[in-house]
């Protein structure tokens, strides 16, 4: 009888220990997940590449989309060797090619220029009436209290007469500057599409580093159509805006970037202060 009691006691203690261990492991897993969430910095702009260098012909991708996703779940970019446009939404990266096809890009695919953030809006607007692009952007600009801040902007709703574009891939080096191949860009017109505009407002002092003013890419709800936005009319729009609190810039280690000749931007006042006269 004593042996039986001891055996039952041993089983109970063993079961309790296993439950405690499982509970501890479960807590550990939750802690790891919470730590990952805690490490996310919302509404900070991460930029890879320099806009002036990209326009000057530096189209080679050198950052994988896998690494880009660690920096943000919302934004814009350019594919490796200028094969269309990239739109980053809800942590997925979509490539709209010059053929008009839009696909979800593989994690190993690379980008030459990208702007992403972990998007958490702090301003919400609703515009029901059908509104042309210029008037809509004016209304949005009126809601931006800090005119020298960076903003990420998401506009969801119904769109009409949407015009987008995508450049074809380039193959032969030296690659031409972007302005010299405007005649090769492919234009897409969508009479009516439900979808989302993903983009930014960037202040003038970042001109050349980034693309200043409003900059949007379109992505249809079915994720089949997209591109860099040239024009649109919107209706029943939900507008979400986040003021970006910080800026992280990473540049390529590629020799092409290291030897790229940027145009000199002469700020005489800064030069006088630096040189003391």
pLDDT in tens, 160-200: 999 999 999 999 999 999 999 999 999 999 999 999 999 99
63: Cβ contacts below 8 Å, ≥ 6 apart = 48, 49, 110, 111, 112, 114, 250, 252
Spatial separation of the C-alpha atoms in residues 103 and 187, rounded to whole Å: 18
CB-based contact 82:75 (threshold 8 Å): no
Number of domains in the chain: 1
pLDDT in tens, 119-153: 999 999 999 999 999 999 999 999 999 999 999 99
- Residue 192 in domain: yes
- Residue 170 in domain: yes
- Residue 18 in domain: no
Give the residues across from 231 on adjacent strands: 163
Q: State phi, psi for 62 to the nearest 5 degrees.
A: -140, 5
Compute the C-alpha angle 166/251/116, nearest 5°. 55
pLDDT at 29: 40
Which token pair is 153?
Answer: 């902007």
pLDDT at 197: 98
Which residue from 161, 137, 163, 115 is spatially nearest to 241, judged by alpha carbons? 137
Q: pTM score, two decimals?
A: 0.85
Spatial separation of the C-alpha atoms in residues 185 and 83, rounded to whole Å: 10
- Residue 11 in domain: no
* Confidence bin at 19 (pLDDT 50/70/90): very low
In order, the DSSP letters of 108-176 are T-EEEEEEEEB---SEEEEE-S-EEHHHHHHHHHHH-S-TTSEEEEEEEEEEEEEEEEEPPP--SSSPP
Query: Mean pLDDT across the stretch 45-69?
Result: 98
- Residue 171 in domain: yes
CATH of the domain at 163: 3.30.1330.80
- What percent of the chain is predicted at pLDDT more than 90? 80
pLDDT in tens, 194-233: 999 999 999 999 999 999 999 999 999 999 999 999 999 9
Which residue from 85, 64, 89, 63 is spatially nearest to 74, judged by alpha carbons? 89
- Residue 147 in domain: yes
Domain hosting residue 199, numbered range: 44-258
pLDDT in tens, 93-117: 999 999 999 999 999 999 999 999 9
């Amino acid at each position: 009888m004593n042996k039986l009691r001891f055996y039952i006691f041993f089983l109970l203690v063993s079961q309790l220990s296993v439950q405690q261990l499982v509970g501890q492991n479960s807590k550990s897993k939750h802690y790891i997940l919470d730590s990952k969430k805690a490490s996310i910095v919302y509404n900070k702009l991460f930029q890879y590449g320099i806009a002036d260098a990209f326009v000057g012909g530096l189209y080679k991708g050198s950052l994988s989309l896998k690494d880009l996703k660690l920096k943000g779940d919302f934004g814009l970019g350019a594919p490796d060797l200028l094969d269309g446009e990239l739109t980053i939404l809800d942590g997925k990266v979509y490539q709209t090619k010059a053929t008009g096809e839009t696909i979800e890009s593989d994690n190993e695919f690379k980008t030459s220029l990208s702007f992403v953030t972990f998007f958490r809006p702090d301003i919400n607007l609703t515009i029901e009436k059908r509104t042309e692009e210029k008037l809509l952007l004016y209304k949005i600009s009126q809601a931006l209290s800090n005119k020298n801040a960076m903003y990420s902007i998401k506009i969801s709703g119904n769109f009409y007469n949407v015009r987008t574009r995508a450049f074809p891939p380039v193959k032969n080096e030296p690659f031409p500057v972007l302005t010299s191949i405007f005649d090769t860009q492919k234009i897409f017109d969508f009479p009516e599409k439900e979808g989302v505009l993903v983009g930014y407002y960037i202040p003038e002092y970042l001109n050349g580093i980034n693309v200043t003013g409003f900059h949007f890419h379109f992505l249809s709800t079915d994720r089949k159509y997209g591109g860099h936005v040239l024009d649109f009319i919107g209706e029943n729009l939900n507008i979400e805006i986040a003021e970006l609190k910080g800026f992280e810039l990473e540049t390529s280690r590629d020799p092409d970037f290291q030897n790229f000749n940027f145009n000199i931007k002469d700020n005489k006042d800064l030069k006088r202060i630096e040189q003391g006269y």
